[in-house]
Amino acid sequence: MIYMTSDNRNLIGDRDVFTQSFWGQILTPASFCNAPKAVVWCGDNEIFTGKYGFWRFYRWLWRKRPHRRTCIFINAPDWLKISPDKTVRGSAWRTWLRYLCHFWLIRMLGFPVAYVAQDDSERWPFPPFCNAVFIGGSTEWKMSQAADRVIYRAKKRGLWVHVGRVNSQRRIRHFKLVGVDSVDGTSLTYAPDRGFWRFQSVLMQPSLFILDRD
């Protein structure tokens, strides 16, 4: 499993993280670096932070074209609503329709595209031409058996599977167990020294087995 860390100066400046095979970068239009420093990277659309804008997003992708060979996926814009108390509510059918509006633009720029699975996505088929599945939505759904079923389906189709907002050793172990390829989180941004060694110890542990479900 690869941990895609946010592009923060403290982590990058303290150690040569990105030469190691289990670390990568997740970038957005708000990231400070012009070029990815990791061997592999992925791109998020900023829907979750509320900063998404059509022209802002695609101008950023245009500038990242020289680095598309090391890009694992770019998230197609999804549909998400965040309440004042920070409760996240996704919509599978709105995300599905929004994906259809954007996937061809992302692929036309030469990037692999990810479909963002939200609450109730287990009831929907994967959309066409997706290269990866990004497990988003509410925390409750993400940690549910319904999300596990989406992960299993994606892996059987040979798709890359990524999970967002993974900020603890327990969650890293859980998603390693169900066979996820990569995860990301923001905890290293706030506590890079403490979090780096905690997460690295889990990432380096060999998986004795991976759950499978027919």
| Residue 150 maps to a domain | yes
> Residue 131: inside a domain, yes or no?
yes
Q: Select the more confidently predicted residue: 206 or 211.
A: 206
Q: What is the pLDDT of residue 42?
A: 96
Looking at the DSSP bridge assignments, the partners of residue 27 are: 43
Distance from C-alpha of 78 to C-alpha of 50, rounded to nearest angstrom = 12
Give me the pLDDT at residue 18, please: 63
Residue with the bigger pLDDT between 23 and 193: it is: 23
Q: What are phi and psi of 186, to 5 degrees?
A: -110, 0
Supply the pLDDT for residue 8. Answer: 58
Tell me the per-residue pLDDT of 131-181, one tens digit each, with 9 for 90 and over: 999 999 889 999 999 999 999 999 999 999 999 999 999 999 999 999 999
Residue 33: which pLDDT band, with cuts at 50, 70 and 90? confident
40-63: buried (b, 16+ CB within 10 Å) or exposed (e) per residue? bbbbbbbbbeeebeeeebeebbee
> How does the average pLDDT of the chain come out, rounded?
88
3-state secondary structure of 25: strand
Asked if residue 85 has pLDDT above 80, the reply is no
Q: Where is pLDDT greater, at 204 or 96?
A: 96
Residue 210 lies in a domain: no
* Residue 118 placed within a domain: yes
Q: What percentage of the chain reaches a pLDDT higher than 90?
A: 64
Sort 188 into a burial class: Cβ within 10 Å, 0-12 / 13-18 / 19+: buried
The CATH number linked to 61 is 3.20.20.60
CA 82 to chain centroid, in Å, comes to 18
- Taken in order 125, 130, 136, 140, the sign of the CA dihedral is positive
How high is the pLDDT of residue 90? 80
Parallel, antiparallel, or unpaired: how do β-strands 80-82 and 132-135 relate? unpaired
Single-letter code of the amino acid located at 51: K
Structurally, how many domains does the chain consist of? 1
Tokens of 36: 């990815």
What confidence tens digit (pLDDT) does each residue in 190-203 have?
Answer: 777 677 778 888 99
pTM: 0.90
Rounded to whole angstroms, the Cα distance separating 104 from 20 reads 32
Residue 211 lies in a domain: no
Is the per-residue pLDDT at 66 higher than 70? yes
* 21 pLDDT tier (thresholds 50, 70, 90): confident
Please say if the pLDDT value at position 210 is more than 80.
Answer: no
Residue 209 lies in a domain: no
Domain of residue 174, residue span: 2-204
Report the residue count for the chain. 214
